[in-house]
Copies of this chain bind each other. A is one copy, B any other.
């Protein structure tokens, strides 16, 4: 199997595969023409990586799973290092959710107070300029899974 077919089968692109190779996540053999050749095991590795990436794992965090598979284990998470990544990720997710909750409460509080002020000041205060623009082309791209973090 060559890189185009593998990319299609894994639902990704050739650019991505070459990038993974450059990161050392894929070890690639070449044929007589210098073309990369892959086997079914590479597809498994790739699927493992994609699954993790879709769950918000960074590329580097997939390395233990890849090495676990390459060591001949039936699944990428059959090894202690992979489990450790799972646990770290869980803790990370919990921390992130806690922070998001606190920020959410903070923002909700500010909004509530500001709305009260606005209601109190509205009859006499500054006139509301423009109401919010109608729900036009605002493509809400759900990309951020752990985005609202600082340093």
A63-106 contact mask (Cβ, 8 Å, vs B): 1 or 0: 00000011111111111111110110110111111011101101
A129 on the B face (CB < 8 A) = yes
Residues of A within 8 Å of B, CB-based: how many?
86
| Chain B residue nearest in CB terms to A47 | B149
Minimum-distance CB pairs A-B, first 8: A75-B147, A56-B148, A72-B130, A86-B111, A74-B147, A77-B114, A41-B132, A72-B128
A86 contacts B100, CB within 8 Å? Answer: no
10 A-B interface contacts by CB (under 8 A)? A1-B139, A29-B133, A29-B135, A38-B139, A42-B133, A44-B146, A54-B150, A70-B132, A72-B128, A95-B142
A90 contacts B108, CB within 8 Å? Answer: yes
Measured CA separation A108–B86 after assembly (Å): 8
A22 on the B face (CB < 8 A) = no
A145 on the B face (CB < 8 A) = yes
A126 on the B face (CB < 8 A) = yes
Q: Which one of B31, B76, B134, B147 contacts A147 once the chains associate, using CB atoms below 8 Å? A: B76
